[in-house]
Amino acid sequence: MNKKTFYIGIVCVVVILCVTAGFFVYKSSTSKQISIHQKCPEDYAENDAGTAEYEKAMLDWTKNYLTIHSEPTASVPTVSGWAEARTKLWSDNNCTVALQRLKMSGKVADLKPYELIDNKIQTVLIKTLEDTLYTSELGFSFYYPNDMYVQNGSDGPDDNYRLLIIPNSYQDNEDQDLTAIVISASLNEPPQTPLEWLRGPYSGADMAKGYSKLDIDGQEAISMNGRNWVTVDTPDNKYQISIATLPGENPSQGLQDEMSTIVNSIVFTK
């Protein structure tokens, strides 16, 4: 199905999730202005009413993004494009707290209510806009952006499980430095929670930099290095899975967005 037509279904999904309410400005390459910005994410109260208000605002902005990208001269809407537009929106409107948390300064912090809402919206977009699903023999699956490909990164049958999700551009120029999302897995023996393993002697993690707790399909996960390294156990505690950017330090914003796309879409076989 042509994605220019398919976006209509996405708009319907967004509208079903929540009635529309306009709070943001989004400027596209066509200089089209959709709605009026009044608040940054951090300006919403961290209670049920504030969360509901932010959800309505962000869903309406998302619908506007999809409407803009349905135009014949516009680029096809993508999850990474949505994430980039959201970052630009916050930057244009000086949403300093949201931008700082997007990069994660290293302080110990659980996700804010608005971040949980953004993750939920992104998950819906992933499942509808992106059509590349990878299913692992270890009992989990994830969506990855259609401008990337999956490559086996294990060195042999005795090596630990390792996948590389690599930008398609690397195939055209293998002389460039490799950037990727790396998913690795090893037996969780003896059984440890992600936090216990990270605090142990073999992880190499610098716990002084802090961490965040995430929920990945009902499993508690730990995020390190500004969300560039996430560790989670499978529901049966058989495997410990690590998802990280390559490079681990100072990855591009685009690679961080791709990492978020993958992490937010992970589903375990139960």
Q: What is the CATH number of the domain that holds 168?
A: 3.40.1000
Residues 125 and 137 in one domain: no
Residues 111 and 168 in one domain: no
Ranking 42-51, 170-179, 205-214, 217-226 by mean pLDDT, the lowest is 170-179
Task: Round the average pLDDT of the chain to a whole number and report it.
Answer: 81
Residues 101 and 141 in one domain: no
Please give the average per-residue pLDDT across 98-126, as a whole number.
78
How many domains does the chain divide into?
2
Laid out side by side, the sheet with 219-224 consists of 148-152, 161-167, 180-187, 239-246, 229-233, 219-224, 212-216
Please give the average per-residue pLDDT across 44-51, as a whole number.
94
Residues 146 and 68 in one domain: no
Domain span at residue 149? 133-268
Residues 157 and 263 in one domain: yes
pLDDT tens digits, one per residue of 150-168: 999 887 655 679 999 998 8
Residues 84 and 71 in one domain: yes
pTM: 0.57
Residues 27 and 13 in one domain: yes
Residues 86 and 62 in one domain: yes
CA distance 83 to 91: 12
Work out the pLDDT band at 218, boundaries 50, 70, 90: very high
Work out the pLDDT band at 101, boundaries 50, 70, 90: confident
Q: Is the pLDDT reported for residue 114 higher than 70?
A: yes
